[in-house]
């Protein structure tokens, strides 16, 4: 059974800068089939029985075992909305570190220059589908971590398919992976995402808690990566210090002999 490390995924990545919210770190209980489901929560996060009878789950994803001498990890960066951390991208380029960048339709419309910078390095970076409107893939009419849910199966399909179409239109390449806003899913939607042509991008190490952590905390979390980890962080918050923490941790892991891969190449 896989277990996630680094606390709960929190969707603070689209909000304005603020101090660390203690509710961002929530307890999770392990569940079958590589999913974890929130065990305790507060505020707008789902608690108890979901209106549809489903408890939202977080898929866990790790890389297959690799017999090479160097430990291998995958860095995934969400670009939900907002801006673009060019310093983080440049640090990855300077250190020849690949990453999978999950973009929304909202982010694509707001950041054409950033998109061009990423596309200038096709050997390093791959795009993932983060949805058209950055809505949580949860059925029922409620908020999840402050984010609107898709509500219905048809709206979920539109979120996935339109997000992929916008990425293909902008880049010329259809993404293979999908990650919904908040990384929480109604269980019944997970196999449907597969039938819509996408693999669900879970993770095993939460690097920045929705870009809410300071640089030191992010560096410490990612610095504890183990071989096979799929790391999640964010690249859409240039005015927060979390990106500097990603940079510091990546440098440390490279110096320790870790290699990085995209999800396309690694899974």
Mean pLDDT, the chain, rounded, equals: 86
- What are the tokens at 34? 């590589």
pLDDT level of residue 238 (50, 70, 90 thresholds):
very high
The CATH T-level fold of domain 60-266 is TIM Barrel (3.20.20)
Tell me: the pLDDT tens digits for 176-218?
999 999 999 999 999 999 999 999 999 999 999 999 999 999 9
Which pLDDT score, from 0 to 100, does residue 41 have?
27
Instruction: Enter the DSSP assignment of 202.
Output: -
Whole-prediction pTM: 0.85
How would you class 18 by CB atoms within 10 Å of its CB: exposed for 0-12, middle for 13-18, buried for 19 or more? exposed
Domain boundaries, the chain: 60-266
Which pLDDT score, from 0 to 100, does residue 246 have?
98
Tell me: the pLDDT tens digits for 240-261?
999 999 999 999 999 999 999 9
- The dihedrals phi and psi of 264, each to the nearest 5 degrees, come to -55, -40
Which pLDDT score, from 0 to 100, does residue 259 have?
97
Which pLDDT score, from 0 to 100, does residue 81 have?
92
Average pLDDT over residues 81-85: 95
Higher pLDDT: 33 or 166? It is 166
């Amino acid at each position: 059974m896989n277990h996630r490390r680094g606390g709960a995924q929190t969707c603070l990545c689209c909000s304005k800068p603020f101090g660390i919210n203690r509710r961002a770190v929530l307890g999770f209980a392990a569940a079958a089939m590589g999913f974890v489901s929130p065990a305790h929560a507060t505020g707008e996060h789902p608690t108890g029985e979901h209106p549809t009878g489903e408890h939202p789950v977080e898929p866990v994803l790790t890389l297959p075992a690799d017999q090479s001498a160097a430990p291998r990890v995958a860095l995934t960066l969400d670009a939900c909305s907002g801006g673009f951390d060019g310093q983080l991208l440049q640090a990855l380029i300077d250190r020849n570190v690949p990453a999978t960048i999950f973009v929304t339709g909202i982010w694509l419309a707001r950041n054409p220059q950033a998109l061009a910078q990423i596309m200038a390095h096709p050997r390093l970076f791959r795009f993932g589908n983060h949805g058209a409107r950055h809505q949580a893939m949860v059925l029922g009419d409620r908020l999840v971590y402050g984010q609107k849910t898709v509500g219905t199966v048809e709206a979920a399909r539109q979120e996935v398919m339109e997000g992929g179409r916008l990425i293909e239109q902008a880049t010329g390449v259809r993404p293979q992976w999908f990650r919904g806003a908040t990384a929480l899913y109604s269980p019944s939607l997970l196999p449907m995402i597969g039938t819509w042509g996408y693999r669900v991008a879970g993770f095993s190490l939460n690097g920045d808690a929705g870009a809410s952590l300071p640089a030191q905390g992010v560096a410490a979390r990612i610095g504890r990566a183990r071989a096979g980890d799929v790391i999640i962080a964010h690249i859409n918050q240039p005015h927060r210090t979390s990106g500097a923490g990603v940079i510091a941790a990546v440098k440390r892991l490279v110096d320790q002999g870790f290699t990085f891969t995209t999800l396309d190449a690694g899974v």
